[in-house]
Amino acid sequence: MDIGTLDYWANQRQSWLHRASAPVKLIWLGLVLMAVVSNGSLTVLLLVYASLLLMIVSTRLPLVQILGVASYPVVFVLLLVVASWDGTWLSPLLLLGKALTAALAAVTVVVTTPYPRIFATLRPVLPGPVVDALFLTYRSLFLLLELMGRLLRALRLRGGLSRVPYRQRLMNLAGALGLLLMRSLDLSQGLYAAMHLRGYQGYIPSSLRRSSSLHINGLLVAHGVALMVASVVVSSL
């Protein structure tokens, strides 16, 4: 999965969720995340997750690919589950459920909203340099992941990960990571120089102008509020 695919889904696909405004979708995301974090019931988590699945299916976006993108945090959560396991199954399942649900909600916003509009929405809330740094980090991350994929493929094709002793494999991987670090430094310096050459003055201009539906905006906020209320009510029982 590359950034081009996510950009295509956000810019070229059309659905009712695409027509919602970026600020409303971020408010909805905040409500969903609060509902997930404050919830202690697997039933409510399943309800939230199922509602997100229905939303994605209704947009006609590729569900399997989106679920694949939203499953990335599971690797890190599994490490936390193993480290903090208390001998019961409820706590690990809740933790995994919360991670998957929160990630799916965030991915739903990303694949239906052009990322410049997301960062433009964040500008009144966060300092300009912070928003611009996040904006550039988002772009650079996919470039670095693509570079790392090419480095690993080159190592495999040359037998650097299978035909040599285990210690040599680690050294080869360390060398690839070192090269990736140097490339990331070069990339950051190039971006910094390009920004100043193009007259960077503390912000990257981006427009929030896009037609949106008040009906859809209201429906989205109502959905987030309903999930939040359900989570609070069930947790208080």
What Cα–Cα distance (Å) separates residue 172 from each residue in 3, 122, 164, 201, 233?
27, 41, 10, 42, 54
pLDDT in tens, the chain (237 residues): 566 788 788 888 889 999 999 889 999 999 999 999 888 888 889 999 999 999 999 999 999 999 988 887 777 777 777 766 767 777 788 888 898 999 999 999 989 998 778 877 877 777 766 666 666 666 666 677 677 777 778 777 777 677 667 777 777 777 777 777 777 767 766 766 766 666 655 555 555 555 667 888 899 999 999 998 888 888 776
pLDDT of residue 138: 64
* Closest to 225 (Cα-Cα) out of 45, 48, 43, 99: 48
pLDDT of residue 115: 77
pLDDT of residue 13: 86
What Cα–Cα distance (Å) separates residue 33 from each residue in 26, 30, 106?
10, 5, 9
Q: How far does Cα 76 stand from its chain's mean position? A: 14
Which positions ≥6 away from 162 have C-beta within 8 Å? 156, 169
What pTM value is reported for the model? 0.70
pLDDT of residue 188: 66
pLDDT of residue 133: 67
Boundaries of every domain in the chain = 3-122+207-236, 128-197
